[in-house]
Amino acid sequence: MDEKTTQVGKFFTLPNDANNHNTTDNNDNFLKYITAEIEKTTPNIGVVPVPNANIGTNAGGKTMLGAKYGSLPNPAPLATGWVPWQESADTRYAPSEGLSRGTLFPGLDLPFKNIVNTGSPYAGTPLGELLAISFAAHELVLYLDTHTNDTQAFAVLKELLALKQEAHRRYTAKYGPVTTADLINETSFTWTRTPFPWNFEEGGR
Amino acid sequence: MFTYEKRLQYPIKIAHPNPKLAQIVLTQYGGPDGELGASLRYLSQRYSMPYGEVQGLLTDIGTEELGHLEMIGTLVHQLMRNATVEEIERSGAAAYFVDHTAGIYPQSAGGTPWSAAGMQSTGDAIADLTEDMAAEQKARKTYDNILRLSDDPDVNDVIRFLREREIVHYQRFGEALRIVTERQDQRNIYATNPSFDRN
C-alpha cells in the first residue's frame, strides 16, 4: 500500500495530509472525497443541488451522497420488513437523462454491471420531448403516491404537467393523435392511419 | 377505466431480426416473472387495499406494467417479423413458429403458457405488498439474465430501461409497505388484517 494514502473501507483510498497522516478522522474530508469519487464514476449527470444536505457536505455545490440514502424507523418492531424511505425528490436527473437511465432519481439508479444507456432517445425531437417529459411526470406521480404531503414535489409535478401539455400539443400537431380524444383536432379519422407504436420509426413516422 | 396512448414509454427500434433472442425476451411477456403477471397482480390486489396511497400506487404501477407488456410485445414482434423461415429454424424457434408464426403469444421462454398460478392476490395488505416486492426482484433478475444472454445493443438499451423501472417499483412498494405497517398498532402489527378486519 502506498504510504502516502490510507485505505478507507473497501473501495477508496484517501490521500494523507502534508505530514503523511491518515486523514480519515476528518469526516468532512472523507465525505468530500467520497462524493468526488461517486461523481467521477457517474459522469454527465444533471444534478439539482440540494441546499440542505441530509448526509455529506457539498463538494462544488453538488450533493450526491444524500440522494443515495433513506431513513429507517428507530426503534423498529421485529418481524417486519423495512425499506429505507426516500426523503425527498429534490435531487433529480434532467427529464431526458432520466428517461435514458430509467429513473429520475440518482439514488435509485443501480445499473446492471454499472453499464448505463448513453444519449437520450430522440433528443430534440417532438417525440423525444413528449417521452422525456411524460416520463418525468410519471416518476413524480409514483413518488407522490407514497409521499402525499410533499408539497415541493407536487409543485414540480405541476410544472412538468404544464410542459407535458405543450409537448403533447406539438407532437400531435405534427404526427397525429396520441389518444382518441386528440381526434377533436383532426380533419379526418386519422386514428387508424398513423402507425401504431410497435411499428414506429423516427419521430412517429 | 383505461385509456390508451399511442406511444411507448420508451422508444423501440430493432435493426436486426433475431428469433432466438425473441424467444428469450418473450418470457417477460408470458413467463412467471413477466409483465403480464405483474400488471394483473397489482391491478387485482388494489381492490382490497385499505388506504388511498396504496390503491393509487398499485393502480399506477399496474398501469405502467401494461405499458411494459406492450414494449415486450413490440420487442418480440420486431425481432421476429423480418426473419426468414431458415433463420427461424436455425435459431430453434420452429416449435413456436408452427403454432404462432411470427405472432405474439403469452408464454415463458420454456414454452409454458402464462398462468395465474405464478401470482397471488391474498387480500392481506402486508402479504400482498411483500409479494409485490418479491415480484419486482424476480423481474429485475430476469432482465439481468436477458442482458447476460443478449448482445444486441438496440434490445439491451430497452432492457436496461425496463430493468431500472423494476428497481424503482421495489422502492415504492417498500414505502407502501411501511405506510401500511406504521398505521397498525405498533405493539403488534399482525393483530388484525387492515384489508378485512373491522377492528
pLDDT by residue (tens digit) across B51-83? 999 999 999 999 999 999 999 999 999 999 999
Domain-wise residue ranges, chain A? 1-77, 88-205
Among A92-96, B27-31, B135-139, the range scoring the smallest mean pLDDT is A92-96
CA B127 to chain CA centroid, nearest Å: 19
Residue B34: count of CB within 10 angstroms of its CB:
28
* Complex-level ipTM beyond the 0.90 threshold: yes
Long-range contacts, A158-163 (Cβ 8 Å, 24+): A160/A95, A160/A133, A160/A136, A161/A137, A163/A133
CATH of B19-182, one of 1.20.1260.10, 3.30.70.270, 2.102.10.10, 3.30.420.40: 1.20.1260.10
Model confidence over A98-133: pLDDT tens digits? 999 999 998 899 999 888 877 777 877 889 999 999
Cα gap A172→A168, rounded to integer Å: 6
Give the Å distances, CA to CA, from B187 to A75, A77, A79, B11, B177: 12, 8, 12, 49, 17
Q: Taking a contact as any Cβ pair under 8 Å apart, which residues of chain A between 89 and 108 contact chain B? A: 99-103, 105, 108
Interface residue of B3, B4, B7, B190 to substitute, partner A, most A CBs within 10 Å:
B7
B64–A146 C-beta distance less than 8 A: no
Of the partner residues A142, A179, A202, the one whose CB lies closest to the CB of residue B60: A142
Inspect the interface and report whether the beta carbons of A81 and B174 lie closer than 8 Å.
yes
| CB proximity A38 to B under 8 Å | no
CA angle A76, A77, A78 (to 5 degrees): 115
Distance, in Å, from the CA atom of B167 to the CA atom of A104, rounded to the nearest integer, reads 12
Contacts 24+ apart (CB under 8 A), A174-180: A174/A126, A174/A203, A175/A126, A175/A127, A175/A203, A175/A204, A176/A204, A177/B6, A178/A130, A178/B5, A178/B6, A178/B7, A179/B3, A179/B4, A179/B5, A179/B6, A180/B3, A180/B4
- A204 interfaces chain B, CB cutoff of 8 Å: yes
Question: Does the distance separating the beta carbons of B168 and A105 come in below 8 Å?
Answer: yes
The rounded percent of chain B whose pLDDT value lies above 90 is 97
Please give the backbone phi and psi of residue A150, each rounded to the nearest 5 degrees, phi first. -80, 90
Which is more confidently placed, B186 or B83?
B83
Q: What are the residue ranges spanned by the domains of chain B? A: 19-182
Determine the Cα–Cα distance for residues A86 and B165; give it in Å rounded to an integer: 16
pLDDT at B122: 98
pLDDT band (50, 70, 90) for residue A4:
low
Of A204, A202, A200, A193, the residue nearest A171 (C-alpha): A204
Chain A residue with Cα closest to B180: A146
pLDDT tens column, A129-163: 999 999 999 999 999 999 999 999 999 999 999 99
Which pLDDT does position A43 carry in this prediction? 40
Find the mean pLDDT for residues B171-191.
95
Amino acid at B110: G
Q: What is the pLDDT of residues A7-55, one digit of tens each?
A: 654 444 555 666 655 554 454 555 555 555 544 544 434 333 333 334 4
